Amino acid sequence: MLTLWNDFDRSFTALDDFRRRMDWLFEDYGHTLGRGRQLNRGSTWPRITLEDDGGRLLARAEVPGLSEKDIELNLNQNVLTLSGAREVKTPEGYSAHRQERSSYRFSRSISLPCTVDPEKAGATVKDGILTVTLEKAAEAQPRQITVKAK
């Protein structure tokens, strides 16, 4: 069977087009599709670390470029919800020639492993890291049991 070079060329062109489309799909995964739309990073953004030091829980989240005004924290029945938004605006009198940063909204909830005291909760943001300190409730605090001889 004789195959013309043109047939190979068309096959490679189709494969190259498919590769470019797949690259585009994976490049855009996790980015916004337009101004103000929901950030499509699923439940993995912002990245959160939850640590337990015995008497309290410490949650750290990566929130680059956000200030305390852009972040909202809620605690409801041992579920900590972190939500926020970033607005990107072109300064007045300027026009954007290239805009890779866009506005977005996000929300992430994590279930806490024990009961916490909401009155003793606190949060700070510094250098793009949000730190949330949650004191454990009295009934969730570890207790030392003394051993007595009989």
Q: pLDDT tens, position by position, for the chain (150 residues)?
A: 555 555 556 667 778 888 888 877 766 555 444 444 444 444 467 889 999 988 899 999 999 888 899 999 999 988 999 999 888 888 899 988 888 877 888 899 999 999 999 899 999 999 999 999 999 988 877 778 888 888
pLDDT at 64: 87
Angle CA(37)–CA(40)–CA(41) in degrees, nearest 5? Answer: 145
Judge contact between 54 and 142, C-beta under 8 A: yes
Which CATH number fits the domain that encloses residue 61?
A: 2.60.40.790
Number of domains in the chain: 1
| 86 within some domain | yes
The token pair that represents 52 in the structure block: 């337990």
| 60 within some domain | yes
pTM of the prediction? 0.63
Q: Which domain holds residue 58?
A: 48-90+99-140
Strand partners, 57: 52, 134
| 6 within some domain | no
pLDDT at 7: 58
**Could you give the 3-state DSSP secondary structure of residue 50?**
strand
